[in-house]
A and B are shown apart, each in its own frame.
Chain A
Amino acid sequence: MVTFWIAKGPALYAAMASAFVAAVAMLFVVHQTNPQFKRRLTVLLTFLGGLFYFMEFFVPPNPDTKETAILGWSLTSTVKLIGNATQVIGGFTFILGIYNLLNVHGRNVGRRRRDWQYSLLFFLGFAVMALFAFWRDWNVWTRPFGVPEVGLPSWIRDTNAEHRALPHDVYTFLFEGLWRNMEATMFSILAFYIVSAAYRAFRIRSGEAAVLMVVAMILMMGQVPLGMALTNGISVDGPFAILRIENFSQWVLTALNGPEQRAIGFGLGLGLLAMSLRIWLSLERGTYFGGNA
């Protein structure tokens, strides 16, 4: 693994600040260039990025070290480095998401748009959850940065187990008592809609619809004990075992559904390969790829 430098404590803050300044400066410079240059830069970086993974995959690794290298440059080590870098970029997408939420709901509240009260509720929920989550785990969050305890308010740095029960209990109530049940409820509501939709829409109006319904019925009943009870009289090991509903539904899934899924997957794979090549070589045109991209 390529390790340039491991910063800790104040050096980490300095490194983060320097990286931020360098990134802003680089963006500023790129921003000053003309659209044609920006496009060429994008095309070049896309090509190099794709080429790297292409080579890393196709160049055979050293049988002893299991590492892939070209002219002394270890592709394997670079894969690990880029992998960690993408986690950092992924972290930024969370910041972007939070910024976007705050922006949208802030405007709703500021301009008193319709149902702005819900946006206010969002701010309340966001703030309370964040406060108690950070308060509960402050020592975990701040450990890598070496934040000195001196100077922090006593209610934060207090390590007394009894005193720390408050943030822990409130956080548990918010996560376990509210969020988890609300999320489960949201998903459960789908079941009610699906049942209602099945009742209203699943009407046999053609031969194909009849086949679809019969197969759906077999699969539905083959998945549950009540359905299995229907064919309980057929011996598990006998010659007619395939007629047991659980075996028949399994046969439908493996013998009929399996090949279709393979065919679809194969088609998708070919499409994906073609699409990847087009993106890699910047041949793709459209909303995100044309113009001044």
Chain B
Amino acid sequence: MPHSPSASRLEMLLGRIDRRLVYIGLFIVTLIPMVRKFSMPLYVTEPPKLLRATIDELPQDKVVMISSDWDAGTQAECRPQMVALVRHLIRRDLKFVVLSMAYPTCPQIADQAIQSAIRLENASDRYVYGEKWANLGYRVLDDPWLRAFTTDIHPAIKQDWNGTPVDVIPVMKGVRRFGPDADVSMLINVTGSDTIHYWYQHLGPTKAKFGLGCTAVQAPEQYAYLDSGQLSGMLTGMKGAAEYEKLLEIPAFGTTGMYGQSFAHLYIFVLIVLGNASVLVGWMNRRKRQGAV
């Protein structure tokens, strides 16, 4: 922000805070609330409620497909979403399979999140790999493959993440098509990448339910699809994860993270007010000088 040489001390003080101080301030205001937990109200908005209701109504003899397209860069938002969603699937005793298309590192990170969810639900004996869930690994994201995959799952996926042929994985037996009356009743895309629009295109004709967990910056674009019914529910960033944790009554990282995010937002709010106060002070000073002349 350029300041004239005649800028007052107050104007400089408000409008020229050293960026290193701004950074340190952000670090502190984000960290402290996460370490020292506060009690704050969290209200659940409609999109997570819709997602929960959709999963609650899924038939237990069908499989849920999770497209896990997030990695370390977006794990703060997507990991708590993924863990909360998988915990819900476990509570409903639903079978699920995971697929990744965004980055080659996604399957490993998704695997850890699922293992964590299984541990948190004490379901290690019930949720045996291959019988109740499977990780199909990474596939290159392209339209022809996705068209083939949504037409018939089996020929498009030969092996799981560990190289085990899909034919011998019990949870994948007979799983071929998406749709309300087919084998995969719902797809949930937990993503920090632009995979959502591919699913809208290719999943739409199958009429399968489509749930979404995305980063906060991606969410504004998705409300149109939620409104049209193409999305059956949505989790928005860390807030979405916290809301889902509240719905399931399992406060975890999403809830804790919201405390840090709360104070970070407040901090930005204060900084913007300070910056504008500096503009106001400058304007008043100029008016005063002009009046004096």
Contact = CB atoms under 8 A, between A and B. Distances in A.
B120 interface: no
A217 B1 CA distance: 21
A198 B139 CA distance: 38
Given A183-B72, A228-B43, A83 B156 contact: yes
B258 A183 contact: no
B23 A1 contact: no
Interface string B70-106: 0111111000000000000000000000000000110
Interface in A58-111: 76, 79-87, 90-91, 93-94
A88 B276 CA distance: 55
Given A192-B26, A196-B23, A261-B223, A221 B156 contact: no
* Chain A interface category by residue count: 35 or more
Contact of B269 (A179, A200, A221): A221
Contacts of A196: 19, 22-23
Contacts of B262: 224-227
A199 B16 CA distance: 9
Contacts of A223: 216, 236-237, 239, 261, 265
Given A223-B239, A244-B43, A87 B152 contact: no
A173 interface: no
Contacts of A203: 1, 275-276, 279
B223 A79 contact: no
Interface in B86-131: 104-105, 108-109
A42 interface: no
B271 A195 contact: yes
Nearest to B161: A140
B72 A90 contact: no
Contacts of B5: none
B147 A79 contact: yes
B274 interface: yes
Contacts of B71: 183
Nearest to A213: B272
A15 B293 CA distance: 90
A253 interface: yes
Nearest to A1: B155
B121 to A, nearest CB: 23
A155 to B, nearest CB: 21
A84 to B, nearest CB: 7
A225 to B, nearest CB: 4
A285 interface: no
B239 A224 contact: yes
Contacts of B76: 184, 188
A195 B220 contact: no
A117 interface: no
A196 B265 CA distance: 13
A253 B224 CA distance: 9
Interface string A164-185: 0000000000010001111110
A187 B40 CA distance: 27
A293 interface: no
B22 A199 contact: yes
A86 B146 CA distance: 10
Contacts of B159: 144
A257 B224 CA distance: 8
17 contacts: A53-B147, A79-B144, A86-B144, A90-B140, A90-B145, A175-B108, A195-B268, A199-B274, A203-B275, A224-B258, A228-B40, A228-B42, A228-B43, A244-B43, A258-B224, A259-B224, A261-B224
Interface of B: 1, 17, 19, 22-23, 26-27, 40-43, 45-46, 71-76, 104-105, 108-109, 139-140, 142, 144-149, 151-152, 154-156, 159, 162-163, 216, 219-221, 223-224, 226-227, 236-237, 239, 258-259, 261-269, 271-272, 274-276, 279
